[in-house]
Amino acid sequence: MTDDPLAPVAPPVQLPPRLQGVEAVQSVRTPFRLEYHASSGQHMAAFLRAMKQKQILGERCPTTGQVFVPPRGVTPTSGLETTELVELPDTGYVESFCITRVPIPGRDDLELPYVSAWVVLDGASVGFIGLVAGIPADEVRLGLRVKAVWRPDEELRETADNIHHWAPTGEADVRIASYELIGAPGRPPAERQVRA
């Protein structure tokens, strides 16, 4: 081990006469562009179409009964394909949140700071990300009951951004049973049926 930890390891380069004393290129611009024509998958398509009707769809885990939103077609608690979609209300509680002062690329309409939050919908087992507004940022708290504020009907598209933000309902806060655990556990994941 040489004693100088930062001693250079690459030997110096010898240049031909025509390059000596010439200002050397140090970096090169290599523009990169790849286009993808992505497909959403079956379950996400159903979720996005429902969103256009101001409806929120989750999927039920075939072994634990947990409800996941948005649906991705396979639940991690079973490792199996989802067979049942579930309609969820647009009400729930704030499970965790973050007052953010960093802009989101492509969302310069958002005034800083904004509150991004994981909202557990009534009947769902996991949080669903969205913005909380209609309440001062420093009053947002774990357990806050909220309801979706949808964009005007003419602006609705196949996107979860149809929910403009979640606003407090004024109902009593949900008591957070444990600060460590998130969502609502269903049946224990270990018990599973192998698909016939």
Partner 1 sequence: MAKERCAVIGVGQTKYQSTRGDVSIAGLVREAALRALADAALEWDDIDAIVIGKAPDFFEGVMMPEIVLGEALGGVGKPVLRVHTAGSVGGSTAIVASTLVESGIHARVLALGFEKQSESNAMWALSLPQAFQTSINAGAGGYFAPIIRRYMAMSAAPELVGCLVAFKDRQHALANPYAHLHQPDLTFDQVVESPMLWDPIRYSETCPSSDGACAVVLASEAAAAVAPNPVAWIDATAMRSEANNFGGRNMVNPAASSMCVADLYAKAGITEPRREIDVVEMYVPFSWYEPMWLESLGFAEKGEGWRLVEDGTTRLGGALPVNTSGGVLSSNPIGASGMVRFAEAALQVRGMAGEHQVDGATRALGHAYGGGAQYFAMWIVSAAA
Partner 2 sequence: MIDVAVVAYAARQQPVFDENEIEMMAPVIEDVRVATGLGPDDLDFTCSGSSDFLAGAAFSFVMTVDATRPVPPIVESHVEMDGAWALYEAWVKLQLGEAKTALIYGYGKSSPGSLRDVLATQLDPYAAGPLKADAFGIAGLQARYMLDAGDVTEARMAEIAARSMASAESNPLSIRKGTRRVEELLAEPYLHDPLRAHDVPARADGGAAVILATREVAERVCERPAWVRGIDHRMDIHHLGARDPRRAPSAAIAAQALAVTADKIDVAELDAPFTHQEALLATELGLDSEATTINPSGGSLCGHVMMGAGLTRIGEAAARIHRGEADRAVAHATSGPWLQQNLVAVMEG
Partner 3 sequence: MPDEGVLHADVTLEYPFTRSTGPVVGAFLTALREGFVVGIERPDGTVLVPPCEYDPATAAPLTEVVEVGDAGVVTSWCWNGEPRKGQPFDAPYAWALIRLDGADTPLLHAVRASGPDALATGMRVRAVWRAEREGHICDIECFVPEAEGG
* Binding residues for partner 3 (CB under 8 A): 10-16, 18-19, 22-46, 48-49, 83, 85, 158
With CB cut-offs between 5 and 8 Å by kind, which of partner 2, partner 1, partner 3, none does residue 186 bind? partner 1
Report the C-alpha gap between 196 and 31 in whole angstroms.
Answer: 51
Which segment (4-12, 73-81, 150-158, 175-183) binds partner 2 by CB under 8 A? 73-81
Which one of residues 2, 26, 30, 178 is an interface residue with partner 2 (CB under 8 A)?
30
**187 binds partner 2 per the rule CB under 8 A:** no
Indicate the burial class of 176 (C-beta count within 10 angstroms; 0-12, 13-18, 19 or more).
middle
With CB cut-offs between 5 and 8 Å by kind, which of partner 2, partner 3, partner 1, none does residue 62 bind? none
Distance of closest approach, residue 42 Cβ to partner 3, in angstroms: 5
Give the CA count within 13 Å in the CB-facing half-sphere of 98: 7
With CB cut-offs between 5 and 8 Å by kind, which of partner 1, partner 3, partner 2, none does residue 195 bind? partner 2
Report the C-alpha gap between 158 and 178 in whole angstroms.
Answer: 35
Distance of closest approach, residue 109 Cβ to partner 2, in angstroms: 25
Distance of closest approach, residue 171 Cβ to partner 1, in angstroms: 21
Distance of closest approach, residue 62 Cβ to partner 3, in angstroms: 12
Report the C-alpha gap between 125 and 59 in whole angstroms.
Answer: 10
The answer to whether the bond into 70 is cis (omega within 30° of 0) is: yes
Report the C-alpha gap between 41 and 38 in whole angstroms.
Answer: 9
- Which among 47, 43, 42 is positioned nearest to 159, based on CA atoms? 47
